[in-house]
């Protein structure tokens, strides 16, 4: 098999949802964010697994993404669209029973005019300045917006992965001042906010990355493994070089394995300095630059020629790999390319 294998542990995904669910009181609903094709892992399988675990409300970024999730889940579970009610989406929102999280006066108007009576939510800006109505807009339009009977009022934290950041308390206070006294379910927290404590939970939480095994949910079970097949192994003499730019001159006689997988598969070129591949427990450093479809790895010290090596495993999590590239686990996950064989495992 020429492509790498992404192993996705659905049992771990379900366990992570349950663990995050237990972080909030029983009265708090725990949703599930499956945007970006379930953070790159496959939104259909992820959503079905999370529905079995108990999730009843799913979140996607766009209506198009909602279509895939609705296809997998059938009717019943709510599917909310963070991008709201975009021009051209009316029919899809109606036919697939999606719930747009309206984020501007223009969207509120569009929704009220094109789909009166269709469920919706409202997004407020509590300080991030990304999506949602600002305080002044909200106080001007709240009375009219509330006539749409929104199912949910939500906002989003910008710094929840930094518990001591003053923006957390400031956004919390702002969200409360914009929503206290309304009898509509409220939601403020994604994974990071869930871990900040009960005052951030309100009626519904919206975990994403923690479900898939990423920080800031330090207790997450690993969901993703990535194994890359070895295509060829060669001996390299001292003084010879490996890969583009001749950036890895062999200091001693070496054995170099060439693996299937490269930056076209989301193995960021920036990991070239520092990432390892693993033969079981034995680390093998990258030798030279990541290229589009191939990696070259120093396997001189391995007792036997490996058939494949692991890039994501217990020894190297997505967050560790992200550190090598100066990025975050989210980007590693959502970059995982379409060439991999996605193997879903259902048992713990
Ligand atoms: C992506 C996103 C989430 C999920 O965030 P995680 O950090 O992955 O848990 C929740 N809410 C909104 C508005 C988002 O954009």
- For residue 31, report the distance from its CA to the centre of ligand 1, in Å: 11
DSSP for 272-323, written as a single string:
GTT-EEEETTEEEEB-S---SSEEEEE-TT-SS--SEEEEEBTTB-HHHHHH
Does 221 qualify as catalytic in the annotation?
no
Catalytic, out of 35, 263, 278, 330: 35
Per the CB < 8 A criterion, the answer to whether 73 and 50 are in contact is: no
What confidence score (pLDDT) does residue 267 get? 97
pLDDT tens by residue, 93-106: 999 999 999 999 99
Side-chain half-sphere of 134: how many Cα atoms within 13 Å?
5
23 CB less than 6 Å from ligand 1? no
Indicate whether 79 pLDDT > 70: yes
DSSP for 87-144, written as a single string:
TT-HHHHHHTTEEEEE-SHHHHHHHHHHSTT---EEEB-SSS-SSSB-HHHHHHHHHH
Index of the ligand 1 atom closest to the CA of residue 212: 8
Distance (Å, rounded) from C-alpha 12 to C-alpha 24? 19
pLDDT tens by residue, 161-183: 999 999 999 999 999 999 999 99
Distance (Å, rounded) from C-alpha 189 to C-alpha 192? 7
What confidence score (pLDDT) does residue 40 get? 95
What confidence score (pLDDT) does residue 274 get? 85
Burial class of residue 252, CB neighbours in 10 A (0-12, 13-18, 19+): exposed
- Average pLDDT of the segment spanning 330-347: 94
What confidence score (pLDDT) does residue 218 get? 96
What confidence score (pLDDT) does residue 56 get? 98
Residue in 159, 190, 328 to alter for ligand 1 test, most ligand atoms within 8 A of Cβ: 190
Measure Cα distances from 236 to 122, 248, 274, 285, 291 in Å. Answer: 61, 11, 21, 15, 19
Question: What one-character DSSP code corresponds to residue 264?
Answer: G
What confidence score (pLDDT) does residue 272 get? 84
Nearest residue by C-alpha to atom 4 in ligand 1: 208
Please state, for a pLDDT cut of 90, what percent of the chain lies above it: 98
| Reported confidence tier of residue 157, pLDDT bands at 50, 70, 90 | very high
Side-chain half-sphere of 32: how many Cα atoms within 13 Å?
35
What confidence score (pLDDT) does residue 145 get? 95
Average of per-residue pLDDT values in the chain: 97
Index of the ligand 1 atom closest to the CA of residue 160: 7
Closest CA to 327 of 168, 214, 163: 214
What confidence score (pLDDT) does residue 273 get? 77
| Reported confidence tier of residue 325, pLDDT bands at 50, 70, 90 | very high
Per the CB < 8 A criterion, the answer to whether 61 and 85 are in contact is: no
What confidence score (pLDDT) does residue 347 get? 77
295 CB less than 6 Å from ligand 1? no
82 CB less than 6 Å from ligand 1? yes
Backbone angles phi, psi at 106, to 5 degrees: -60, -40
| Reported confidence tier of residue 348, pLDDT bands at 50, 70, 90 | low
Nearest residue by C-alpha to atom 1 in ligand 1: 208
pLDDT tens by residue, 216-262: 999 999 999 999 999 999 999 999 999 999 999 999 999 999 999 99
Number of H helices, E strands in the chain: 11, 19
DSSP for 210-257, written as a single string:
TTTT-TT-TTPPP-EEEEEEEEEEEEE-TT-EESGGG-EE-SS-EEEE
pLDDT tens by residue, 273-291: 789 999 999 999 999 999 9
What are the tokens at 167? 């923006």
- Average pLDDT of the segment spanning 41-48: 96
The C-alpha angle 278, 225, 9, rounded to 5 degrees, equals 150
Indicate whether 119 pLDDT > 70: yes
Does 212 qualify as catalytic in the annotation?
no
What are the tokens at 177? 């001042």
What are the tokens at 85? 């009610």
Index of the ligand 1 atom closest to the CA of residue 191: 9
């Amino acid at each position: 098999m020429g492509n790498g294998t992404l192993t996705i542990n659905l049992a771990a995904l379900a366990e992570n949802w349950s663990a995050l669910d237990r972080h909030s009181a029983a009265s708090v609903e725990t949703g599930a964010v499956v945007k970006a094709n379930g953070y790159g892992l496959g939104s259909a399988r992820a959503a079905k697994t999370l529905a079995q675990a108990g999730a009843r409300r799913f979140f996607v970024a766009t209506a198009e993404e909602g279509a895939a999730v609705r296809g997998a889940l059938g009717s019943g579970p709510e599917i909310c669209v963070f991008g709201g009610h975009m021009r051209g989406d009316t029919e899809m929102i109606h036919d697939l029973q999606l719930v747009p999280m309206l984020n501007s006066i223009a969207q509120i108007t569009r929704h009220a005019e094109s789909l009166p009576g269709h469920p919706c939510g409202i997004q407020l800006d509590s300080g991030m300045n990304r999506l949602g109505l600002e305080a002044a807009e909200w106080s001007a339009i709240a009375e009219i917006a509330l006539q749409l009977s929104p199912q949910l009022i939500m906002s989003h934290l910008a710094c929840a992965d930094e518990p001591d950041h003053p923006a957390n308390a400031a956004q919390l206070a702002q969200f409360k001042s914009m929503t206290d006294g309304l009898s509509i379910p409220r939601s403020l927290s994604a994974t990071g906010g869930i871990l900040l404590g009960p005052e951030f939970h309100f009626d519904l939480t919206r975990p994403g990355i923690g479900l898939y095994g990423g920080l800031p949910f330090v207790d997450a079970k690993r969901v993703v493994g990535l194994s890359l097949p070895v295509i060829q192994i060669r001996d390299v003499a001292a003084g010879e070089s490996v890969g583009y730019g001749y950036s890895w001159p062999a200091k001693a006689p070496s054995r170099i394995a060439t693996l299937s997988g490269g930056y076209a598969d989301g193995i960021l070129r920036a990991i070239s300095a520092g990432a390892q591949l693993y033969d079981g427990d034995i680390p093998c450093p990258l030798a030279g630059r990541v290229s589009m479809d191939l990696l070259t790895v120093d396997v001189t010290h391995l007792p036997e020629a490996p058939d494949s090596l692991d890039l994501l495993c217990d020894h190297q999590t997505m967050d560790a790999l992200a550190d090598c590239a100066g990025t975050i686990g989210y980007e590693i996950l959502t970059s995982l390319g379409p060439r991999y064989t996605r193997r879903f495992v259902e048992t713990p």
